Structure 1
Amino acid sequence: MGLLTAAVVIVGALCVIDLLLTVGVIRRLREHTELLAGTTQRVVAGGPMQLLEEGTQVADFAATTTDGEPISREMLPAMSVVAFFSPGCKPCGAMIPPFVEYAATLPGGRAQVMAVVVGDTGQSGAYADLLTPVARVVTEGFEGQISEAFKSRTYPALYVLDGEGKVVSSGTEMTVLPKPSMR
């Protein structure tokens, strides 16, 4: 009888230890889920966040907007805002409404803003529709000309360019954009 009691106590202790370990794993998984949900950007193809730094010259590019207009680096006026978004990127979806509101206040209107929707062209339509009233919109794949010119692999990404195509500021938050009244 003593042997049976000892076996039950050992099995009970092992179950309690297993339960404690399972609770610990669940707690860590929740922490990681919260960290991932709170991420401010989506990085494609792994690696660190990639943004062109202040003073960097953007490479030449030529593309056609969703409205059929040609667009190139040379056609962008001074203090142009260039934004990169990708469908399926939660931070991108959250940033589009405040970005549209911001772009609507710019004195240069659509001519001063270019939005690039990067990814599957079948999924890009919803973002393009939201951005078209306030920006010249280009949709392209991850290896598109504009993405290559900006070496864009981080979404969302925001840039302000001077009249010569040099980066004035860049980042993944709206705070990198100058206040419209300061233009």
Structure 2
Amino acid sequence: MTVLLSVVCLVNTLLLLAVIRRLNEQNRMLREGVPAGGRPPQGWPPPMAVEAGQRIGAFRVASLDGEVVASDELEGEVLVGFLAPGCQACDASLPGFVERAKATPGGRDRVLAVVMGDGAAAAEVHERLAPVARVLAENEEQGPLATAFGVGALPAFAVLSGSTLVASHSLVDRLETPAT
């Protein structure tokens, strides 16, 4: 009986160590965006299906303050962020996105913030973003903005040159452009 109990405890300990190792690996992947090998694992969604050098899809939507924003009217370098209230990674990314938006040349006219969702939590995010970005609302996962950018995971950040994607990443502090 003692031997059986010892074997069960040993197996339990080995399983616990395997789970801890996997959780540490997932945590590192979230922190770094991809594993050390530089390629995301199979099933790891990129933030956007549109790749650097490609044009984003066409869209024409009104910002929360009534200004019409259209993909074919974007000029210069534009910072874009897709965030959803209640998304833990989005909530953690919001302060960094606000700081990046504040530092964007051209000010809020060169920053688009897409808030996915509605309700009181979305209204709070809108308020935080309004001073630094033109805020756009998207209430459905496959709305015109998410479709135009091919958003596959949140948060998602991008830099455009006109309507051409220059760079994208799921971590705003990892979003690099040729000028940075």
Q: The residue matched to 2:56 in structure 1 has which SS?
A: coil
Please report how far the alpha carbon of residue 90 of structure 1 lies from its aligned counterpart in structure 2 after TM superposition: 2.6
Q: Secondary structure at the match of 1:169?
A: strand
TM-score normalized with structure 1 length:
0.78
Q: Which residue of 2 aligns with 1:104?
A: 102
**2:147 is aligned with what amino acid?**
E
Change (3 A) 1:134 1:50: closer
Q: Secondary structure at the match of 1:55?
A: coil
- Per the TM alignment, residue 17 of structure 1 is displaced from its structure 2 partner at its CA by 0.6
> Match of 2:152?
153
In the alignment, structure 1 residue 72 sits paired with structure 2 residue 70: yes
Which residue number corresponds to residue 19 of structure 1? 9
Unaligned residue ranges in structure 1 (runs of 5+): 1-10
Alignment of 1:28-177 (within 5 A): 28-38=18-28, 39-40=30-31, 48-51=45-48, 52-118=50-116, 120-122=117-119, 123-140=121-138, 141-163=140-162, 165-173=163-171, 174-177=173-176
2 CA distance for matches of 1:125 and 1:18? Answer: 52
Separation in structure 1 between the aligned mates of residue 104 and residue 45 of structure 2, nearest angstrom: 32
- For residues 56-91 of structure 1, give each alpha carbon's deviation from its aligned partner in whole angstroms, at most 9, with x where no partner exists: 111110112222322111332210111112233332
SS in 1 for 2:82: strand
One-letter amino acid of the counterpart of residue 94, structure 2: I
Distance in 1, Cα, partners of 2:124 & 2:22? 30
Q: 1:130 to 1:35 in 2, by over 3 A?
A: farther
Deviation at 1:161, TM superposition (A): 1.3
Structure 1 residue 50 displacement after superposition: 4.7
CA offsets 1:125-181 (integer angstroms, 9 cap, x no match): 332222111011112121110000111112222211112x111222223232449xx
Name the SS of the counterpart of 1:155 in structure 2. Answer: coil
What is the number of residues matched between the two proteins? 165
Greater Rg over alpha carbons, structure: 1
Query: Kindly tell me: are residues 94 and 59 of structure 1, through their superposed partners in 2, closer, same or farther at Cα, counting changes over 3 Å?
Result: same
Is residue 117–residue 137 contact of structure 1 (8 Å, CA) maintained in 2? yes
Q: Provide the C-alpha distance between the structure 2 equivalents of 1:114 and 1:170, rounded to a whole number of angstroms.
A: 14
Relative to 1, partners in 2 of residues 1:126 and 1:34: Cα closer, same or farther, differing over 3 Å?
A: farther
- Structure 2: 5+ residue runs without aligned partners? 34-42
SS in 1 for 2:137: strand
For the aligned residues, what is the CA RMSD?
2.3
Cα contact 1:116–1:139 (8 A) shared by 2: yes
> What CA distance in whole angstroms lies between the structure 2 residues aligned with 1:137 and 1:124?
11
Whole-Å separation in 2 of the counterparts to 1:177 and 1:109:
18
Q: Hey, which of these two has a bigger chunk of helix by percent?
A: 1
Superposed displacement of residue 108, structure 1: 0.9
